[in-house]
A and B are shown apart, each in its own frame.
Chain A
Amino acid sequence: MSCDVLVIVEHNEGRLKNVSSEILSFFGKIATDNGVKVVAFIFGDHISEKLYCDIGKLGIREIVSHVNNELDEQPGLVAGMIADLAKKVKPKLIVMANTVKSRDSAPMIAQKLDIEMFSDILNIDYKKTVINLARLVYGGKAIEKIKLLNQQALITVRPNVLGNDENEAFIPTITKLKTNELPRTQTYLTKAKITKEKVQKPINEADVIIAIGRGLRRVEDLIMVNDLARVVNGVIGSTRPVVDMGFVRRSHQIGQSGRSVSPRLAILLGISGQIQFVAGISKAKTIIAVNKDSKATIFKSADYGIVGDIYSIVPILTRELKKLKLQNR
């Protein structure tokens, strides 16, 4: 079996991750339109028939799967497994999602295969003979444009950038990998998992983000922000100072020394617009900023700006959005 594109699929609790659906539908469309051979690889435990079905619905005809409940905790083994598969099917392009999981294994996979890797890709222009990619560098101030000419490469794709294509559904053929029992290794042992209190979606996969800055004065104000977040189904993130003060987890810090995110909608509350923060949010599709200072630099980076007191604006905005939501039911 050989292919042009190998997509590494991520799933969680019996469902495809949104970012994996985006990648699969993107390449599913290319497979149908251009006769490109795309294979999806899914691994881990709890892989149901429904998952295979969901992949097929996105336009994918071939799936390779490996069921194993020990892989989850072992990036080194995952890297070895994917590299071995890639050596068998020889894809020109290996596509992963840019997630917490892939950032561990992807560089090792690329090195094992002796190929280049490009992470956090924002744009893919795919042809069999030439692939054009784009990603952000220099704190979001510049774009790196990459042209691949017939060389094998691995890319990780940012969530929320590819969109979702409607494709012809297939009943995919499934090849189940049988590997020898994975080496019981003492070199990397996951002893425990510390579950964070509220299991929040990883911020870089959120569709809507509410980001708060120092304009928020007390931790109690988070209740107001939470109400807004709930109405829009948003994830709360913040600037670095707010994380340093302990109001928000570091994993939800947005910016140069935090995460880079591309939500469909970002609502920025009480954020002045320091370049270190903007670097992480600049790729949001739509940005709304609320700040009581009309001269705040954040407005330069926003599509919509309200000059006003967040304590007045946010409750009203929450109420109006709730109304709109009910109207649209």
Chain B
Amino acid sequence: MKILVLVKEIIDTNSKIVFNKQKKLDESQVKWVVNLYDEYALEEAIRIKEQFGGEVVIYSVGNDRTKDTLNYIMSMGADRAVLIKSELTDAKSVSEILAKQIREKDADFDLILAGWIGIDWNRGQVPGRVSSVLEVPFVNVVIDIDINGKIVTCEKEGESSNEIIDVQLPALITVQRGINEPRYPSVLSIMDNTEKKIEIVDNIDQSTTKKAIIKIEPEKNRKKTYMINESDPELAVKMLMKKMIADKVM
């Protein structure tokens, strides 16, 4: 089986998000990691490969720095990677770049796996868009995958109920936390200095779509907290109720 995994390198949102005087994000303070949900996707791909044999190929849109992150994450057990260098970060462009490269290099894929959302930008668009361009069925936010020949049975997170969905391969499936426990990258593999098979592609921006104007600003903090430090719980609750009624919250 040929399994492709869409991986995004993101700012570690645990790191200090600092804005400089020009209100621009200070990237020197920032750590770069693999998007959490993409780790689950990669782990799932490797498990499927372990079950059925085949190849796991990572696709990622990034820049020079992304190579280090990919080197690290490939040590979980991916066979090769395609890193497309581009300054473009909007979901539509990234999706079209990925789909184009997949069509050119690995059009005979059986399955594409991806994390369902990126925790940096909270968009959740790229997988659905890629499935649309590649014209394959799309199952979103899945917590269990079971492959039987050409049919994949997925348990999908629904609204008030989970759904069991069958799709035919080739397909694109996004994964949700809880589908598996990602393994740690093999230490031996990380220490192995032989270059991992990462193909680097330069993307030439050919899009003509007019894009929205985007600005990022720091989020304002909440105003001062009304603290109740009263040892008698009855009194404490009374004080809270009184204040909230006065503030018209209740």
- Partner among B90, B95, B223, B226 whose Cβ is within 8 Å of the Cβ of A305: B226
Q: How far is the CA of A137 from the CA of B122 in the complex (A)?
A: 6
B17–A303 touching, CB < 8 Å: no
Q: How far is the CA of A102 from the CA of B2 in the complex (A)?
A: 29
Q: How far is the CA of A192 from the CA of B212 in the complex (A)?
A: 41
- Asked if A76 meets B249 with Cβ closer than 8 Å, knowing A137-B120, A143-B219, A316-B234, the reply is no
User: For residues 97 through 113 of chain A, which have their beta carbon under 8 Å from a beta carbon of chain B?
Assistant: 99-101, 103-108, 110-112
- Asked if A111 meets B237 with Cβ closer than 8 Å, knowing A119-B122, A302-B225, A305-B228, the reply is no
Q: How would you classify the secondary structure of chain A's contact residues: helix, strand, loop or mixed?
A: mixed
A282–B219 touching, CB < 8 Å: yes
With most chain A CB atoms within 10 A of its CB, the pick from B133, B141, B171, B233 is B233
- Partner among B13, B19, B166, B214 whose Cβ is within 8 Å of the Cβ of A279: B13
CB distance from B137 to the nearest CB of A (A): 4
CB distance from A17 to the nearest CB of B (A): 10
CB distance from A4 to the nearest CB of B (A): 17
Q: How far is the CA of A196 from the CA of B159 in the complex (A)?
A: 10
Any chain B CB within 8 A of the CB of A124?
no
Q: How far is the CA of A324 from the CA of B249 in the complex (A)?
A: 13
B168–A187 touching, CB < 8 Å: yes
Any chain A CB within 8 A of the CB of B107?
no
User: For residues 179 through 223 of chain A, which have their beta carbon under 8 Å from a beta carbon of chain B?
Assistant: 186-196, 199-200, 202
B157–A139 touching, CB < 8 Å: no
- Partner among B153, B168, B215, B229 whose Cβ is within 8 Å of the Cβ of A186: B168
User: For residues 308 through 327 of chain A, which have their beta carbon under 8 Å from a beta carbon of chain B?
Assistant: 308-309, 312-313, 316-317, 320-321, 324
B222–A256 touching, CB < 8 Å: no
B240–A304 touching, CB < 8 Å: yes
B163–A194 touching, CB < 8 Å: yes
Any chain A CB within 8 A of the CB of B250?
yes
Any chain B CB within 8 A of the CB of A117?
yes
Any chain B CB within 8 A of the CB of A169?
no
Instruction: Annotate B133-153 by CB proximity to A: 1 below 8 A, 0 otherwise.
Output: 100011111010000000001
With most chain A CB atoms within 10 A of its CB, the pick from B119, B218, B231 is B119
Contacts of A282 in B (CB 8 A): 219, 222
Q: How far is the CA of A144 from the CA of B243 in the complex (A)?
A: 34
Q: List B residues at the A interface (Cβ < 8 Å).
A: 11, 13-14, 17, 19, 25, 36-37, 90-92, 95, 119-129, 131-133, 137-141, 143, 153, 155, 157-168, 171, 176-178, 209-219, 221-223, 225-231, 233-234, 236-238, 240-241, 243-245, 249-250
Apart from A200-B160, A257-B177, A286-B249, what are 16 other A-B pairs with CB-CB below 8 Å?
Answer: A103-B140, A110-B129, A114-B92, A116-B211, A118-B212, A138-B25, A142-B17, A142-B218, A144-B215, A144-B216, A146-B212, A187-B137, A302-B225, A304-B244, A306-B228, A307-B227
